[in-house]
Structure 1
Amino acid sequence: MVKVDRQVRQMYLAYARALVDQRADLDAADDDGMDINLPVFSVGQVGRLADIHPQTLRQYDRLGLIVPRRTDGGARRYSLRDVDRLCQAQRLSQDESINLAGVTRILALAEENRQLRRQLRRSRRPAGSVVFAADSDGEVSEVERYEARSWRESSAVTRRSGSDGRRMPATISHSRSLVVWGVRRG
């Protein structure tokens, strides 16, 4: 599990509040460069945020409706995506009187639709505008070239040379260790 510093945690908490209040959505969070899958919230935090009893959250986990990641000790950790799914599930079940099987199907279709919109937006970007970053666990994510550039400018960057003299990827300190390399698209 990735350690998240206090300042980053506060930023994610503010975004989660905006999701709960329907002032933001996952597409905006993704476009703003947030890792919507980063597990940062405990059961208690999510319960307070969304005004849901922690036992309900545990029940949703057992039913497979919202399945958070687990720490090494087994504690549940929720991401922005989980918070968004939870809010949608609550609205569908309480406001629309849809049963949990229906909610599960609707959420799956909504996520598929969101992913397709994301792919469409990203396919419209100019060639070479995207780079990929890998964290210390080897998880790869796509970031905008300008984000990678701002990380380079604002963070300590070390460049290594391989045994053959070629330049290796830069290691960038940005809330967690990232290795960034450019990829041409198109």
Structure 2
Amino acid sequence: MICSKGVVVQPQSGSNEPNANDKFDDEDYPAYSMGSAARILDTTPAFLRSLDEAKLLTPQRSEGGHRRYSRYQLRIAARARELVDQGTALEAACRIIILEDQLAEAHAINAALQQRIDDRAVDDDRQS
């Protein structure tokens, strides 16, 4: 489910600690406050809270308890906003997005499996 996509990035001790560039490139790093996310998406904080209530998105929380959104979550919220603006009920929009995400994941798995099959066929041809 989409809400389980988020990854918590916590500083680690020693040389393995993520640097600023790693965080910047991380699709799942919760870099955006609710206000920033709402401005980026040209929507309201209430709409973002409704996505949380519908369990489409589960934003991380700052130490102060404020919602923090990742770029991945912003794309999901933008898709929800698009569907709702087209007249789709929020619950239906959430279901559509979840199904789209599952389909994309299935396509990626199929592509990876097909690549393994192709690689094995090449290896078999080389051995014969």
Is TM more than 0.5 here?
A: yes
Q: Which has the higher contact order (CA 8 A, sep 6+)?
A: 2
Name the structure where strand makes up a greater proportion of residues.
1
The one of 88, 100, 124 aligned to 1:98: 88
Find runs of 4+ consecutive structure 1 residues off by over 6 angstroms: none
Query: Quick check: 1:108 aligned with 2:98?
Result: yes
1:68 aligns with 2:59: yes
Q: Which one of the candidate residues 35, 55, 66 is aligned to 1:44? A: 35
TM (normalized to structure 1)? Answer: 0.47
Pair 36,113 (structure 1): closer, same or farther in 2 beyond 3 Å? farther
- In the alignment, the residues of structure 2 paired with residue 68 and residue 113 of structure 1 have an alpha-carbon distance, to the nearest angstrom, of 23
In structure 2, the partner of 1:2 is: 10
Give how far 1:98 is off: 0.6
Between structures 1 and 2, the one with greater helix share: 2
User: Percent same amino acid at aligned positions?
Assistant: 25
1:118 aligns with 2:108: yes
- Within 2, Cα distance between the matches of 1:118 and 1:85? 18
Q: Which amino acid aligns with 2:97?
A: L
C-alpha RMSD of the superposition: 2.5
Deviations along 1:131-166, whole A, 9 cap, x unmatched?
A: xxxxxxxxxxxxxxxxxxxxxxxxxxxxxxxxxxxx
SS at 1:60's partner residue? helix
Aligned residue pairs, count: 103
Q: Which amino acid aligns with 2:104?
A: R
**What is aligned with 2:78?**
87
In the superposition, the TM-score normalised over structure 2's length comes to: 0.65
CA contact (8 A) 2:28 2:72 kept: yes
Distance (Å, rounded) in 1 between the aligned partners of 2:63 and 2:93: 30
Q: Give the distance between the partners of 1:49 and 1:116, measured in 2 at CA.
A: 30
